[in-house]
Every structure is written in structure tokens, then in C-alpha cells.
Amino acid sequence: MNTADSERLSHQLESVGYTPTEDVEIADLILLNTCAVRENAETKVYGRIGELMRLKRKNKNLILAVTGCMAQKNQAEMFKRAPHIDIVLGTHNIQHINEMIEEVQRGHTHQINVDMDNSVLPELEAKPNGTFYAWVPIMNGCNKFCTYCIVPHVRGREISRPVEAIVKEVTELGAKGFKEITLLGQNVNSYGLDFKDGTDFGTLVDALDGIPGIERIRYMTSHPQDMTKSMIDALGRSSNIVTHLHLPIQSGSNRILKKMNRHYTVEHYKELLSYCREKIKDVVVTTDIIAGFPGETEEDFLATLQLLKDVRYDMAYTFIYSKRSGTPAATMDDQVPEEVKRVRLQTLMDVQNEISYELNKPMEGQVFDIIVEGPSPRDEDMWFGRTSGNKMVLFPKDDSLSIGETVPAYIDKAQTWVCYGTIQKG
């Protein structure tokens, strides 16, 4: 979501003459688009803001702006902690960046706009950074108020873009050569519910089916509470929706799910997942799990561990519970000791790694279509691409291939996190 916002900010800035640079030493404007999901992210941002003070001293015309969830959350203290900041821009106001820059240039320092108007979601053009993929926000905000999560407080209530606007954007992206898009929302399963006319995420999936040039449509993130069988049916019949489904469970204990305010049970979740596996061919399932939520007993933890073994996810993103000020969970009794949380996290990871390897191993000897993404971050002699199920495939660099090209890859060796393959030609 932050990447999508940054692309929309970039388009606005370039429309008034700014050009991007990777060198902060020569920048006229530095804009930090921030996250507030975890405390560590905020700490890093304040550290970075402090480092940038020397550039402000060196260049009196340099404008320093902070936007994103951290700006929305910490609006009252941003200027106090870092008076050299010029602009604090909330999550609902990125369309005002240019006018706020103008105000600073007129000599009116410390511009702030953190109003949260949920009555309209402005349509903003983006400058996609990807060569073949693009991010497409379909909604903003969240109504769930999970007790550990700050997002509803910094993104506001759910508001959806019209189906027609999303179809128009995706159609234009397909015409420009983008072949993979990702639909973004804090909870894509609640898309369209604010229209109160029967529109839902399945409606959008059907509307985007078969758009010329679009080979793959990914989506994130899903929520079990709002997922329905009709949505799953739409995913299953779509010609371009990927086979990857990310469905966060967070805990395998109904007692903890209730404390988290998740509004579903493990039993209901398993029913949904069973239906997904029935209706979506070759579906690859991943999830999120929090270890050490306040009040989590050993029994609760073992229930989560058993869930992993029962469901057998292709991958699980596991996190230690981290307090976020302003959320109910931060003040709950029975906070789990850090050492216990670390041990539980490692246990979850060990079990999941074994399962991931067992599920990847049968891929050996099979051929999967991948889209070439370019050099591996760790080895420039190896390139990589992803399957429809979001499995990463590494292969030897081949100068005859182009980034964004769809090619068949034969899987030679499967590991826990990646597969190694050979591109088949001819």
C-alpha cells in the first residue's frame, strides 16, 4: 500500500517539474513515506529524520516531508521531535502534496494536513515503478479493529473505489504492457460492502476477468471474516487470478482469536480453506501468525502449532507480538515474556519450514510458467521469476531473456523458500 501511495506521489511531483534522484545530497525535496505497523519501523524513521538534519543545514531550500501511517499516527509530536520537518501529510491527503510544497516555498513553514475524510476516495494517477507489474489500490481503510492493529486508526474507515474506475485503470495498464497487477486493500474481502448494493470482491474479480494483456492478478490482503463461498467461486473461475491465496489466521486458538477481535473461529476458517482447495485449482496457501499474543497460554500455542500441521500451509509469515500504543492489546494483562515469545516463534518456524519443504519437493521434475523478474538480490549470475502460486524460481542468467517475459521453467531442485530451475526453450 505504501508503494502504491509513493507511485501516486511521484506522479504528482513529476507533473510540476520534479525529477527523481537516488542521491539525497542533491535533492530539493525528500519525502519519507512511512509505516506504523511495528514499533521498529517508527524507530528507524525517526533515526533517518535525524540523519537528514545535516542536509537541511547545508541546503536552506531543501524541503523535508513525512507522509504515511506514522505521520497520521504521530501527527501531534512530529514537529516537536523533529522541528526541521517541513510537511506532515496524513494518509488521506497525498493529493495535496504539491500545494503544501508551494506553501513551504512561500515561507509558510510547518505545513500539516491529517484530516481523515472517508466520504470520498480521490482518483490519483500513478507512475508505476515496475516494468511488467503494477499496484492497483481498490479500497482504503479498515473496519475490523483487531485489538493488536493500528491500521484502522491511521487509515480510517473502509471506502471502496468504483468497479468502473478499477477496470479502467487495469485496462490502461494492460494496454501499456503491464501483465501482472496486484489489487490492494487492508481487507480486499470487504471491497464494495460500503456501496450497499450487493457489490463485493467477487463482483470485481469477475469484472477484471479477461482484460487484454493482463496475465496475472494478485490480491492482498484477505480476511476470513468477510470471505464468502461466492467470492471463492469467482476466484476459481477467473482466467487471470493467480493460484496464490494469502489468508491470515493469526492464531489457532479460538480463545485468542476472540481476544484479537477477529470474529471467526478456527472451524469456520478450516471450512473456508477446504472450499478454496476444492474450487481453486492448484491453490497455494500462505498465512500470518502472531506468536505470544497477550494471554496466550501453552495450550493456546499448541493449538496454533497443531493448526500448522493440520492445514499445511505452503508458507507462514510468523511474527512475535509487538505492542502498538493506542491499541487495546498493548494494555492487556498477561503480556507474554519476550523469551517465551521467541521460543514459540522459533518452534512455529521450525515446523513450518519442514512443511514448506515437503510441499515444494513434489515440484521437482515439473514445469511451471514464470515471469522473469531479473537478477537475484543475492547473486547477479542467477535470475528469478515467480509461479502463479508465488513460488520463487531461481535460474542461471540468460541474456536472451527479457524482464517481464513469461517462460516455462523446469524445476531441478526444490528447497524450503525457493526452487532452482532451468528455462525451457523452443
Cite the annotated binding site for [4Fe-4S] cluster by residue number. Answer: 142, 146, 149
Residue 78 identity: M
Burial of 409 (0-12, 13-18, 19+ CB in 10 A): buried
**Rounded Cα distance, 10 and 27, in Å:** 14
**140 - beta bridge partners?**
159
Nearest to 410 by CA among 274, 257, 426: 426
Secondary structure class of 390 (helix, strand, coil): coil
Inter-CA distances, 247 with 273, 328, 370, 413, Å: 9, 23, 23, 27
The DSSP secondary-structure symbol of 38 reads S
**29 - beta bridge partners?**
63
Nearest to 126 by CA among 134, 118, 116: 134
Three cell numbers written together for 256: 485468542
Known binding-site residue numbers = 142, 146, 149
Inter-CA distances, 226 with 80, 160, 270, 375, Å: 41, 15, 14, 38
**Rounded Cα distance, 306 and 226, in Å:** 24
On whether the CB atoms of residues 326 and 354 are closer than 8 A, the answer is: no
**Rounded Cα distance, 372 and 246, in Å:** 22
**Rounded Cα distance, 135 and 3, in Å:** 8
